[in-house]
A and B are shown apart, each in its own frame.
Chain A
């Protein structure tokens, strides 16, 4: 809606499946848990890495609805152990 009024937008998000469904004009995917889009608390270097990589992708978008993977993992070793903790967090307030 903002984009439709002439202001370019970039979504920086962690939920690839949701972004696939809602099709924002430009989306940068960060493979972090939701609610930690830019990294762990107080790790400014990681926050800066995510933001600068997202901005660097801007001119690469060629068509609406494209999702570009920033190729940043939550765990340096690529572990997916964070997913179990996140699942519990997301269901906590049922």
Chain B
């Protein structure tokens, strides 16, 4: 049986009520236009990742995002997310942001191509309306401009 996170979140939030998880009333669905081996792919991480020389995210309600280089040699990744789980991923951000392996799969032709950038933002933000009206459309525009065929989202 999978580990249950919701009871831990409730315990963590107490005595406040637990965080409300926002879900669409009807999940969106868009069929794949092409297989992975022909797709341009971007990673999206909610770990609040950035390069050392990029502006830090400001916990806990930051609604900005960062473009991240897809080249594994494109600069060390910093994790700004405030979660208590950060100690291990800070040893190797690839465990939540596998850009090295994704680049390898692109070089091998297992995926079609890499997006010009990957993207990251702060997960766990409670400003759902602004996420829906501001952050998500901005990220969508980035993905459209990049010609991305498939977005891989890695929650943190």
Contacts and interface: CB of A to CB of B under 8 A. Distances in A.
Partners in one complex: yes
Interface of A: 1-18, 21-25, 29, 31, 33-42, 44, 47-48, 50-52, 54-55, 58-59, 63-65, 80, 83, 86-87, 89-94
Given A39-B95, A47-B94, A7 B148 contact: yes
B95 A38 contact: yes
Contacts of A35: 83, 85-86, 88-89, 95-96, 156
Given A23-B27, A44-B100, A47-B100, 5 more contacts: A8-B151, A18-B155, A22-B23, A42-B91, A44-B94
Interface of B: 2-6, 8, 11-12, 21-24, 26-33, 35-36, 82-89, 91-92, 94-96, 98, 100-102, 104-105, 110-111, 132, 136-137, 139-140, 143-144, 148-156
A9 B150 contact: yes
Contact of B6 (A17, A59, A89): A17
Which 5 A-B residue pairs are closest in the complex by CB-CB distance? A41-B92, A35-B85, A64-B27, A93-B84, A4-B28
Contacts of B82: 93
A17 B4 contact: yes
A37 B95 contact: yes
Contact of B96 (A18, A37, A64): A37
Contacts of A33: 3, 85
A51 B102 contact: yes
A90 B12 contact: yes
Contact of B84 (A2, A63, A90): A90
A38 B155 CA distance: 12
B3 A86 contact: yes
21 contacts: A1-B28, A1-B140, A2-B139, A3-B27, A4-B28, A4-B30, A5-B140, A6-B30, A7-B150, A9-B150, A11-B155, A14-B3, A34-B5, A35-B88, A41-B89, A44-B94, A47-B98, A55-B111, A64-B27, A89-B85, A90-B5
